[in-house]
Amino acid sequence: MNTKVSGSAERIKRLNVPTAVLGIDLSPDEGWAYVATFAGVGQLNMESGEYESLYGHDSYASGVFHIPETQQLVSSGYDGQLRWFDLQQRELIETVAAADFWIWDMACLRRPGQSPLLATASGQYLAGDYEYRPRPSQQPNVKVWEAATRKLLHQFTMLPPVQAVALSPCGTRVAAANLMGDVCVWDLTVGDLAATREPDWKWQTPDFTAFGVIKSHCQVGGIYAVSFTPDSQQVIVAGMGPMVDPMAGNGRQRWQKFSLLAGQADQKTQSKDDQVGEGLMEALAVHPAGEAFLMSGRLRGGAFNTGVFSLVNGDLMYGFKTDSRVTQARFMADGRMVLAGTLSQSADADRQFGVVDVFASPVVDAGTSGG
């Protein structure tokens, strides 16, 4: 089967938020966006652009998830906390200390007839030797929660800092990845609060690393986004490849896809160097049709900071510049792309530098014959 994706870089609308957006979720009718920002959590009207600040964290809010069954929000923050907020009563209802360091990423999975799942990724980088390799984590830094009951279901440990986490669509796996190119996947149907349990799949890809030829404590490259394919059998990772000087931030834009086989992960496809530029890729999202995905982030050099790729053969279908740094990406039900992030800050104190962009949907045609 050949997959064709066509479309354009048509921006349908740009909505502004007072500060940079690190996380976003949409209401079931897609009329509202809930955003995690430098200043806390807010609510954005996707039609009018009206913005309302709802509540804060003790540091940046890094992720947010809407629980429609209870009309609540749950958010994560660099304060290491998860906070639950009642949208009807407009009040915080619970705060849970989930980590001793920043929660870098939060993933969410809605399950019909069951409580949604949350997964959080944390971990502090501390130099472990003279070559700046990270010191092992002293506590579990990948955790899975039941969103409605706030119950901790699973906790695992991997080398920090763990920047990316994802839950499989089937609800039985969690994947996490760090800045050293390590990827771990755990089977959630086995065990419970076994913090020392080894991953069911674990591999290291040298094509992603925070280090350059010149090593330092500055961590720039590595894996920043992870996602499962719709069948839950493959894992996509994205970030930035190695560079000479990690301070330069000029590593190759990169993604790789792995199939989860019995006890091992087999790399199937990856981005082609002649199809991508330079820059840190921070967001992944799979098209609702399941035949394509987008990768987005910060542009250092090249033609685009958002690219749409075929899930079948990995080819770049088209790319475009957003004139922003994209930190989170979502597809709407009809395939429109929602890209959230930030513009460059300026001396203008009144300037709103957080952005939520809506772009036209790529048109996916999977009906052609062939390999």
pLDDT digits (tens, 9 = 90+) for 228-282: 999 999 999 999 988 877 677 788 999 999 999 876 788 889 999 999 999 999 9
Distance between CA atoms of residues 290 and 3, nearest Å: 11
Q: Which residues contact 184 (CB under 8 A, 6 or more apart)?
A: 142, 156, 158, 175, 176, 177, 199, 201, 202
Q: Is the pTM value of this prediction over 0.95?
A: no
Give the amino acid at 64: V
Render each residue's pLDDT in the chain as its tens digit; 371 residues.
344 444 457 899 999 999 999 999 999 999 999 999 999 999 999 999 999 999 999 999 999 999 998 999 999 999 999 999 999 999 999 999 999 999 999 999 998 888 899 999 999 988 888 777 889 998 999 999 999 899 999 999 999 999 999 999 999 999 999 999 999 999 999 877 766 789 999 999 989 987 767 766 666 789 999 999 999 999 999 999 888 776 777 889 999 999 998 767 888 899 999 999 999 999 999 999 898 999 999 999 899 999 999 998 999 998 999 999 999 999 999 999 999 999 987 666 677 899 999 999 875 554 433 33
Distance between CA atoms of residues 307 and 329, nearest Å: 12
CA-wise closest residue to 258 among 297, 293, 280, 227: 227
Name the burial class of residue 290, with classes exposed (0-12), middle (13-18) and buried (19+) by CB atoms within 10 angstroms of its CB: middle
pLDDT digits (tens, 9 = 90+) for 103-137: 999 999 998 888 899 999 999 988 888 777 889 99
Distance between CA atoms of residues 330 and 61, nearest Å: 18
Q: Which domain CATH number covers 20?
A: 2.130.10.10
Residue 274's SS3 state is helix
Q: How many domains, the chain?
A: 1
Give the amino acid at 157: T
Range of the domain at 26: 2-368
Residue 279 host element (H or E): none
Give the amino acid at 19: T
Give the amino acid at 291: E
Distance between CA atoms of residues 128 and 143, nearest Å: 24
